[in-house]
Amino acid sequence: MNCKIWYLLSWGMMLLGCALLIASYYALLNWGIKAAGLALFLAGAVLNSAKCRCPACRQRVSSWAALRSNQCPHCGSSLN
């Protein structure tokens, strides 16, 4: 799968998790929603570190480097 899709998915999950945490804090929602927000955030973070690697050299590629260009900053091969 395209690396950029994983970046967007993992960042989306982390942002949604943060939004749930903040919303549950201010709206005094129950612990289930807080736990869901935390789980979503952690799942996004895990997904980001697990999937956002160069397919050729398996080095971790930062989100911004991958979104700016389609090349791995370590070995120069295509990330698509």
Contacting positions for Zn ion (CB under 5 A):
54, 56-57, 72, 74-75
Structure-block tokens of residue 78: 């295509």
Question: Minimal distance in Å, beta carbon 45 to Zn ion?
Answer: 22
Question: Minimal distance in Å, beta carbon 78 to Zn ion?
Answer: 9
Q: 3-class DSSP state for residue 25?
A: helix
Question: What are residue 38's phi and psi, to 5 degrees?
Answer: -65, -45
Question: Minimal distance in Å, beta carbon 75 to Zn ion?
Answer: 3
| Closer CB to Zn ion, 24 or 48, in the complex | 48
Of 46, 44, 50, nearest in space to 12 by CA? 44
